[in-house]
Amino acid sequence: MSHPGPVSTRAEALGRVLVVDRSPRVRRLVVRALFNAGYRVDEVDDGGEALRRLATESYDALLSDLRMPALSGLELLAAVKRLSPDVEVIVLSSSDPDDMRSAIQALRLGAHDYVARPPASAADVVLAVQRAVEKKRLKESNQRLLRELESLGRTDPLTQVASRRALDQALGREIARARRHGYGLGMIDLDIDHFGALNDTVGRPGGDTLLAAFAQILASTLREGDIVYRYEADEFVVLLPYAELPGTLVAAERLVAAVAARPIPVGSTLLPVTTSAGVACLTLEDVGADSLLARAQAATAEAKAAGRNRAVAHPLAMARPVVIRKRRRG
């Protein structure tokens, strides 16, 4: 069901939301909260109808019941991520242990957040949707930035990822935004393990092939909105806006595992490659970009000293984060 009436410029600016729940009462509570907050809201009672809406309409966020008869919330989430990956999904979960396990699984599968079902308050629903829409628009902004990087020549010509110059510009901007709005900012520094020896083995052209393939593994493993930069030689840096320490460390571990799992073809040789990753997050102690990068690089050195092929978080990443506005849980 759509909610008729003139669509205000403010509602368009805030975002459009689709609510999917089997219960008319829950839908009514969620829709009223979002409508009163100024969002443009549509509602349906099953996953199949939600997919039909997504095929013809554009939405910023979708709130989904976990237990629907024809198509479960997890099945709907998988379909949305496949068919409309730009839409941020929030699951509605009761306190039932099975529902909570499903909610955690949904987060692992790419859901943005979960809130209580029925919601504990209208504010919980509005805040979750506000953060989801902000995240979606940040992704869109970063995608535009990538296109601008290509057009302005701020792309590393060998690896086709963003260059050190682009990182220098992005760091100042993202740090200022994180401090202004109280959001997290994560950084991952990565070095290819034993790159000098590998380069000697395959020669300079083979080393260039290895670097380009390594960069593409990183870029293809990252989630939308996160950007990989070539810092120098075999050192790469990833910026993760809106990320706190746990999420940044998980992303680093995912990158390390992806590299180890994909040997790189260089000529007729399939070359096993590993990487060491250092994780740091913006804290109140950081005076600027240099200290954040230095801590990430120090953590990379710790990862190498500990045996390589792993991710390590800098200890200061756990102290006094800059985050003020934390994600609310239902």
Least confident span in 17-21, 62-66, 282-286: 282-286
Say if residue 89 is exposed, middle or buried (CB neighbours under 10 Å; 0-12, 13-18, 19+).
buried
**Using CA atoms, how far apart are residues 274 and 265, in angstroms rounded to an integer?**
14
Give Rg (Cα) of the chain: 22
For the question of whether the overall pTM of this predicted structure is more than 0.95, the answer is: no
- Angle subtended by helix axes 245-261 and 195-221, to nearest 10: 120
Element (H, E) at 302: helix 289-305
Compute the average pLDDT of residues 97-110. Answer: 90
Cβ(25)–Cβ(118) under 8 Å?
Answer: yes
Confidence (pLDDT) at 3: 57
Mean per-residue pLDDT over the chain, rounded? 87
Compute the average pLDDT of residues 251-280. Answer: 94
Confidence (pLDDT) at 330: 31
Q: What is the sign, positive or negative, of the torsion defined by CA atoms of 204, 209, 215, 221? A: negative
Q: Which of 61, 60, 64 is nearest to 75 (CA)?
A: 64
CA contacts within 13 A on the Cβ side of 94: 9
Sequence-distant (≥ 6) Cβ neighbours of residue 301 within 8 angstroms? 278
24-44 pLDDT per residue, tens: 999 999 999 999 999 999 999
149-202 pLDDT per residue, tens: 666 667 888 999 999 988 988 898 888 888 888 888 999 999 999 999 998 888
DSSP percent split of the chain into helix, strand, coil, nearest 5 = 50, 20, 30
- Angle subtended by helix axes 122-152 and 24-37, to nearest 10: 60
Element (H, E) at 202: helix 195-221
Say whether the peptide bond before residue 118 is cis (omega within 30 degrees of 0).
yes
Confidence (pLDDT) at 179: 86
| 114 vs 286 pLDDT, higher one | 114
Look up residue 158 and give its amino acid.
Answer: L
| DSSP code string of 129-176 | HHHHHHHHHHHHHHHHHHHHHHHHT-B-TTT-SB-HHHHHHHHHHHHH
| Predicted confidence (pLDDT) at residue 228 exceeds the cutoff of 50 | yes
